[in-house]
């Protein structure tokens, strides 16, 4: 059996999914239709087991090593065991509102892979632009950017720098404020993931 991978899970709701869909389509996304899913949870001696049924499509059985909880948490999952995971570490210079890279671990073979850049938020777009550029330098050609919440400014910056990269987001919020934060946004993603408060 393949070793389980690690996953960060964030949840959000979209108060106006029709508006978000029209904005995303206006930015050049393709409409693949609606995907409806239903999760059925089972009692197990440890962790969590759920059956995810999708329409259209089939069903998958997903086992988590952690129990269910409302707060953000780190979990281990067994869903795509053949997926290789890399890491680009960056933090934001709060004065200049620019990303600063501090770590890079890109798996071999990215030039032949479908590569997904996953970030909770796309705010100014600086980190996304830099991450995609670093992956392209490593040879990646088929890139997709996936986030939970985006600002229009971040979407424009990423599309302007890398028009070949598909952007997928759950919602596009109203704007960035003077500090470069998404409004209304979700708060600080790092604080939510790691339970810190700055």
Reported as a single tens digit per residue, the pLDDT across 86-119 is: 888 888 788 887 888 888 889 888 998 889 898 8
pLDDT in tens, 159-184: 999 999 999 988 899 888 888 888 88
Average of pLDDT values for 2-28?
A: 60
Whether 137 contacts 149, CB under 8 Å: no
User: CA angle at residue 148 from 147 to 150, to 5 degrees?
Assistant: 75
Task: Give burial (CB, 10 Å; 0-12/13-18/19+) of 153.
Answer: middle
Where along the chain do the CATH 3.40.50.2020 domains lie?
Answer: 81-198
In whole angstroms, give the CA distance from residue 48 to residue 70.
14
Tokens of 121: 């938020």
Residue 126 parent element (H or E): helix 126-137
Q: Which of the two residues, 155 and 61, has the higher pLDDT score?
A: 155
Quickly tell me which residue has 């997709």 as its tokens. Answer: 144
pLDDT in tens, 182-195: 888 777 766 666 66
Per-residue confidence (pLDDT) for residue 190, from 0 to 100: 65
**Radius of gyration for the chain, computed over Cα atoms and rounded to the nearest angstrom:** 18
In whole angstroms, give the CA distance from residue 3 to residue 5.
7
The 3-state DSSP class for residue 139 equals coil
In whole angstroms, give the CA distance from residue 195 to residue 198.
10
Considering only CA atoms, which of 124, 128, 125, 121 is closest in space to residue 186?
A: 121
Q: What class, spelled out in words, does domain 81-198 have in CATH?
A: alpha beta
Whether 92 contacts 100, CB under 8 Å: yes
In sequence order, what are the residues at sequence separation of 6 or more whose Cβ sits closer than 8 angstroms to the Cβ of residue 95?
none
pLDDT level of residue 9 (50, 70, 90 thresholds): very low
Residue % of the chain over a pLDDT of 90: 23
Per DSSP, the residues of 78-96 read -S-TT----EEEEEEETTT
């Amino acid at each position: 059996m393949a070793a389980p991978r690690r996953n960060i899970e964030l949840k959000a709701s979209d108060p106006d999914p029709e508006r978000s869909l029209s904005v995303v389509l206006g930015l050049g996304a393709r409409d693949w239709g609606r995907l409806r899913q239903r999760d059925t949870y089972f009692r197990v001696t440890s962790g969590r087991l759920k059956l995810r049924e999708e329409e259209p499509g089939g069903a998958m059985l997903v086992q988590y090593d952690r129990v269910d909880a409302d707060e953000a948490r780190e979990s281990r999952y067994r869903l795509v065991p053949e997926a290789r995971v890399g890491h680009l570490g960056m933090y934001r210079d709060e004065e200049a509102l620019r990303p600063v890279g501090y770590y890079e671990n890109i798996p071999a073979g990215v030039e032949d892979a479908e590569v997904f850049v996953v970030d909770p938020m796309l705010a100014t777009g600086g980190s996304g632009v830099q991450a995609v550029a670093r992956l392209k330098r490593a040879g990646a050609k088929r890139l997709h950017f996936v986030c939970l919440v985006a600002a229009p400014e971040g979407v424009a910056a990423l599309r302007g720098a890398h028009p070949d990269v598909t952007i997928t987001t759950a919602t596009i919020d109203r704007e960035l404020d003077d500090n470069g934060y998404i409004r209304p946004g979700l708060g600080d993603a790092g604080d939510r993931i790691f339970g810190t408060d700055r």
